[in-house]
């Protein structure tokens, strides 16, 4: 039993699920070129915003006819602007199996009050994706960050769908393959897989989404911060670097650095391989230890970014207090920071495994998890 402290420590104890670890080569001086104190509408600022858009397209392999915009209020802002701008034209299906998906349900059902069918599953499970009707709009989260459960693929999305697919991909983009032909609206924020700074959201629109925007006007008023069209036409500037309002050029510089780093590790393929290797180290640890298990019940839905774990040892008296105490021990030792389960999720741990985390650090952290578990079992007795 691992009562002795392991000899090796992770070089970087940052395993938070957002903001996530910066790329390993990050230092503050990498931001020295930021267009600070200049108008974001000056050529230097606009060029950087455009580079952020086109860099995103390149790394994520987004088709040339898809629009990519930098919008306010991080991923939440991007999702909200999509929901408020696009829904209501037809029935919507709202899929949720964790906290963030449930938040979008609340917005659509309680705020927008549109005709919606809500399909939910408990933490660890996923909804019946095959039951989605292609005539409806569907809103879903590609990777449920707080459950560690992701959609296994997009086979359930019809090529000849009539509705739109609106996908919150904030903890999936840059770590999982996103099939663009199946996604009409995709959103993410910079502070997740690439370890960027929180501030702005990205919204990616398929030609079908643009068509909906230009042909449908919601019955409710839209604040300026959500408006993607003017006079029935897409505001093209949003998708070429003329943002709706003032962006942080420091955050933009940081994102440009992160995109550059992504290229240096082999682009999307390299990023996915890094996340897969990190997550596999945790999966193997769970397989080797009968006191801990993945919260995701079906292996095909296990996240490779926000890996959520539950303790399964009969000796544990108070599950929530136990998990908190284990996380606290690891934080006190500066081994793993911010790995407690999300506040609405079942008691347990959540270990970020996105590509900015080094596999060697995951491997060095796991024996410490065993140590903290044993120490807490002993303390509880
Ligand atoms: C799936 C998902 N959606 C939305 C959000 C909210 O993102 P933001 O804080 O960037 O708005 C998060 C943040 O963790 C998330 O994981």
Residue in 80, 99, 100, 197 to alter for ligand 1 test, most ligand atoms within 8 A of Cβ: 100
CB neighbours of 1 closer than 8 A, spacing ≥ 6? 374
Tally the C-alpha atoms within 13 A of residue 20's C-alpha that lie toward its C-beta. 31
Residue nearest to atom 7 of ligand 1 (CA): 75
Q: Residue 196 C-alpha to ligand 1 middle, in angstroms?
A: 13
Best residue among 82, 149, 170 to mutate for probing ligand 1, ranked by most atoms within 8 Å of CB: 170
**What's the CA-to-centroid distance between 195 and ligand 1, angstroms?**
13
Task: Tell which atom from ligand 1 comes closest to the C-alpha of 306.
Answer: 16
Cα–ligand 1 centroid distance for 246 (angstroms):
21
Looking at residue 381, its pLDDT comes to 87
Supply the pTM of this predicted model: 0.98
Q: Which tens digits make up the pLDDT trace of 132-167? A: 999 999 999 999 999 999 999 999 999 999 999 999
What does the pLDDT read at residue 302? 98
Q: Which ligand 1 atom sits closest to the C-alpha of 17?
A: 14
Predicted local confidence at residue 140, as pLDDT: 98
Other CB atoms within 10 A of residue 169 CB? 30
CA of 366 to the centre of ligand 1 (A): 26
- Residue among 76, 103, 342 to mutate when testing ligand 1 (max atoms within 8 A of CB): 76
Predicted pLDDT of residue 13: 98
CA–centroid distance, 379 to ligand 1, in Å, is 35
Distance (Å) from CA 263 to ligand 1 centroid: 24
Q: Give CA torsion, residues 22, 23, 24, 29, to 10 deg.
A: -80
Distance 41 CA to ligand 1 centre (A): 28
The domains located in the chain, with CATH, are 28-264 (3.40.640.10), 267-380 (3.90.1150.10)
For residue 77, which atom of ligand 1 is closest to its CA? 11
| d(CA 97, ligand 1 centre) in Å | 14
Question: Which residues does 245 contact at the CB level (< 8 Å), separation at least 6?
Answer: 72, 224, 225
List of the chain residues with pLDDT < 50: none
How many other β-carbons are positioned within 10 Å of the β-carbon of residue 95? 24
**Ligand 1 interacting residues, C-beta cut-off 6 A:** 18, 74-76, 100, 141, 145, 168, 170-171, 189, 191, 198
pLDDT recorded at residue 294 = 98
Q: Give the residue, by CA position, lying nearest to ligand 1 atom 14.
A: 18
Q: What ligand 1 atom has the least distance to the C-alpha of 145?
A: 16
């Amino acid at each position: 039993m691992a009562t002795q402290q392991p000899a090796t420590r992770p070089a970087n104890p940052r395993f938070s699920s957002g903001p996530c670890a910066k790329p390993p080569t990050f230092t503050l001086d990498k931001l020295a070129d930021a267009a600070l104190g200049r108008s974001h509408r000056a050529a230097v600022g606009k060029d950087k915003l455009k580079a952020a858009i086109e860099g995103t397209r390149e790394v994520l392999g987004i088709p040339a006819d898809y629009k990519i915009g930098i919008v306010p209020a991080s991923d939440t802002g991007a999702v909200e602007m999509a929901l408020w701008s696009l829904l209501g034209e037809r029935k919507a299906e709202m899929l949720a199996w964790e906290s963030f998906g449930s938040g979008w349900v609340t917005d659509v059902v309680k705020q927008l009050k549109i005709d919606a069918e809500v399909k939910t599953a408990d933490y660890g499970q996923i909804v019946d994706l095959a039951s989605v009707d292609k005539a409806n709009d569907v809103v879903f989260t590609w990777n449920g960050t707080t459950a560690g459960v992701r959609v296994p693929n997009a086979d359930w999305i019809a090529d000849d769908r009539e509705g739109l697919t609106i996908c919150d991909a904030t903890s999936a983009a840059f770590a999982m393959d996103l099939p663009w032909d199946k996604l009409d609206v995709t959103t993410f924020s910079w502070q997740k897989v690439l370890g960027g700074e929180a501030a702005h959201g990205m919204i990616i629109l398929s030609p079908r989404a643009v068509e909906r925007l230009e042909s449908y006007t919601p019955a409710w008023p839209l604040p300026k911060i959500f408006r993607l069209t003017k006079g029935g036409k897409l505001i093209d500037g949003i998708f070429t670097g003329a943002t709706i309002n003032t962006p942080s050029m420091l955050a933009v510089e940081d994102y440009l650095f992160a995109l550059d780093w992504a290229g240096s590790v082999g682009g999307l393929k390299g990023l996915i391989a890094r996340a897969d290797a990190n997550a596999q180290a945790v999966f193997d640890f769970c397989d080797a230890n009968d006191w801990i298990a993945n919260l995701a019940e079906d292996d095909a839905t296990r996240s490779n970014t926000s890996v959520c774990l539950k303790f399964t040892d009969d000796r544990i008296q108070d599950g929530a207090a136990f998990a908190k105490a284990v996380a606290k021990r690891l934080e006190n030792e500066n081994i793993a920071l911010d790995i407690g389960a999300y506040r609405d999720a079942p008691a347990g741990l959540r270990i970020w495994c996105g590509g900015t985390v080094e596999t060697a650090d995951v491997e060095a952290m796991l024996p410490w998890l065993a140590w903290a578990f044993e120490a807490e079992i002993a303390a509880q007795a």
